[in-house]
């Protein structure tokens, strides 16, 4: 497609979409899966809509008027518009009429991923693409005394800090995981829901917000100067007695590919790490470019996926150079579920379709289209499905999803500290390690990890 990568000087950039919540879901933790199902992330930064599968584009300055060939087609529209403008007895705002007409056109497509957006909605939707926000840098949830999710803050339902982002002003100010927020700028959080409190904590860079907290039963006030926050989309650790490197990708923002590259490089360089698990569960996607780069960390020389326009043939999308885990002697397992969508499905399909690793979990969401964001000057903008993406076998998974080789379902009632899907993934990747003896020399097509480990802070 014609969109440029988010690294270019042009503001155009690509990504892939699924239904978007008003706030992000919290990162899935292996030790708190019970709460996660209902977490709302407050990476307390404005407009934290997480788009998965959009592309930014530009309109070419359409010529006003209707072409001769479409005069009859558009005559009913102009007849209705002129009649409303001339004869409606109420007040008329012509711009509202035009926006309503555009909205109706997109609704007629019956595509949940294509939609007209008002100026506010357009700006808000684009706010999350870069992965950077203005705020304090914390994630929060509402939990009761037993650690179970709850909705409205009360004497038994607490607004709790679940994570403080590295390098954030919240961390510098002394906020800690487990702090209970009881007031924001002197206004109590009692009887409030998370989505009502979050906007009061968000705010522009260099402004100050005071959070009243309780820690260990002791109250205190912490003033935090808001700043630009970079969302942390990648988390990593070493599992299985040091044999398995684990990476959890929460989304595909503009910085996620570089972050994953650094953390993956560090894992590969860690003594004892022999296999990898890439956790894409509940990952709604993001930039297509990020998906291509992340998939390229595992696949060096075969098409990752295909893109197809409304009128063109499928075009193979090749790996980018520099992947640090393309050695086939390093087994890979990708964890997926029904929340694995769009850009994250591209990565999962690339690994599966190129026989680079196995999928473990349940069938993915099934979103096989790529959207493009375009601005309508003075009238907001829209997102429009402009491409299909196909697996390496040129299969369109839209509405179907990817089927994992190893089915592993999460329990209906998760137990804190237990993750049977991850445990099954560890079993599978260790079995693959046993079945595939390590070659004495790496294949010539595989770039070995020559980069020094890069700190992730």
The residues annotated with a catalytic role in the active site are 342, 367
305: closest CA among 395, 396, 390, 403?
A: 390
Helix ranges (H only) for 202-274 are 256-268
Assign 174 to helix, strand or coil. coil
C-beta atoms surrounding 66 within 10 Å? 13
Distance (Å, rounded) from C-alpha 408 to C-alpha 277? Answer: 15
Residue 370 contacts residue 398 (beta carbons within 8 Å): no
Distance (Å, rounded) from C-alpha 343 to C-alpha 52? Answer: 6
- Angle CA 404–232–256, to nearest 5: 60
Distance, C-alpha 201 to centroid of its chain: 22
77: closest CA among 104, 54, 96?
A: 104
Residue with structure tokens 């007895």?
Answer: 89
C-beta atoms surrounding 286 within 10 Å? 34
Assign 249 to helix, strand or coil. strand
Can you list the positions of beta strands (E) in 280-397? 305-308, 315-317, 332-336, 358-361, 369-375, 381-390
């Amino acid at each position: 497609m014609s969109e440029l990568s988010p690294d270019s000087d042009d503001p155009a950039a690509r990504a892939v979409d699924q239904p978007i919540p008003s706030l992000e879901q919290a990162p899935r933790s292996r030790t708190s899966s019970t709460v996660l199902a209902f977490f709302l992330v407050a990476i307390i930064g404005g407009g934290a809509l997480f788009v998965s599968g959009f592309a930014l584009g530009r309109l070419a300055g359409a010529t006003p008027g209707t072409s001769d060939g479409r005069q009859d087609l558009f005559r009913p529209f102009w007849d209705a518009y002129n009649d409303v403008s001339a004869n409606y007895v109420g007040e008329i705002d012509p711009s509202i009429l035009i926006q309503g007409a555009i909205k109706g056109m997109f609704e007629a497509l019956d595509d949940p991923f294509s939609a007209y957006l008002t100026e506010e909605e357009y700006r808000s939707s684009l706010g999350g693409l870069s992965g950077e926000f203005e705020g304090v840098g914390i994630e929060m949830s509402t939990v009761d005394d037993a650690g179970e999710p709850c909705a409205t803050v009360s004497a038994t339902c607490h607004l709790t800090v679940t994570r403080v982002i590295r390098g954030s002003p919240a961390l510098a100010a002394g906020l800690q995981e487990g702090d209970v927020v009881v007031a924001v700028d002197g206004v109590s959080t009692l009887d409030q829901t998370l989505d009502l409190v979050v906007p009061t904590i968000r705010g522009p860079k260099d402004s100050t917000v005071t959070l009243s907290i309780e820690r260990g039963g002791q109250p205190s006030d912490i003033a935090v100067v808001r700043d630009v926050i970079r969302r942390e989309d990648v988390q990593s650790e070493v599992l299985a007695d040091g044999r398995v490197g684990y990476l959890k990708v929460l989304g595909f923002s503009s910085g996620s590919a570089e972050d994953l590259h650094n953390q993956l490089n560090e894992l590969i360089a860690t003594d004892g790490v022999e296999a990898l698990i890439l956790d894409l569960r509940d990952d709604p996607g993001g930039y297509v470019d990020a998906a291509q780069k992340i998939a390229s960390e595992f696949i060096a020389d075969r098409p990752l996926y295909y893109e197809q326009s409304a009128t063109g043939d499928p075009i193979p999308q090749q790996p980018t150079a520099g992947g640090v885990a393309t050695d086939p002697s390093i087994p890979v397992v990708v964890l997926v579920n029904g929340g694995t969508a769009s850009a994250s499905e591209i990565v999962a399909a690339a690994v599966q379709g190129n026989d680079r690793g196995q999928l473990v979990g349940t069938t993915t969401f099934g979103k096989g289209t790529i959207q493009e964001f375009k601005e309508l000057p003075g009238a907001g903008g829209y997102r429009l499905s402009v491409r299909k993406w196909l697996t390496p076998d040129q299969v369109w998974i839209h509405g179907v999803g990817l089927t994992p080789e190893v089915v592993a379902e999460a329990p209906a009632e998760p137990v804190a500290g237990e993750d049977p899907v991850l445990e099954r993934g560890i079993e599978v990747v260790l079995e693959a390690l046993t079945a595939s003896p390590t070659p004495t020399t790496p294949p010539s097509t595989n770039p070995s990890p020559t980069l020094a480990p890069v700190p992730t802070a």
